[in-house]
Amino acid sequence: LKELEVDGTWPEGRHFRAMRVQESKSKAANLNAALRTVKDAFVVIYDADHHPDSDSLLLLWEKMVRRGVDCVQGSYYMRNLSDN
């Protein structure tokens, strides 16, 4: 992960930062530690095992602007339910 962080070839001004949260015992503690360092106006968090549709973020953004909301939590669907 540190190699990805220093790579510097992220498109369109994107950044990647790897963090180790020593005192963490949960996903929530990891997210809280990371969110304290965010300086950007917008943050998107996906689980590592999620594979969102390529246009899902744009569709979400458009709907958030249209409805005037600041935060969303999404549900998911399994594409390969019969395989699992």
What pLDDT is stored for residue 31 in this prediction?
A: 92
Residue 39 Cα to chain centre, angstroms = 15
Q: Check if the beta carbon of residue 47 is closer than 8 Å to that of residue 33.
A: no
What pLDDT is stored for residue 42 in this prediction?
A: 81
0.85 surpassed by pTM: no
Q: Return the higher-pLDDT residue of 11 and 65.
A: 65
Query: What tens digit of pLDDT does each residue of 26-80 get?
Result: 999 999 999 999 888 788 888 887 778 888 889 988 999 999 998 888 777 677 7
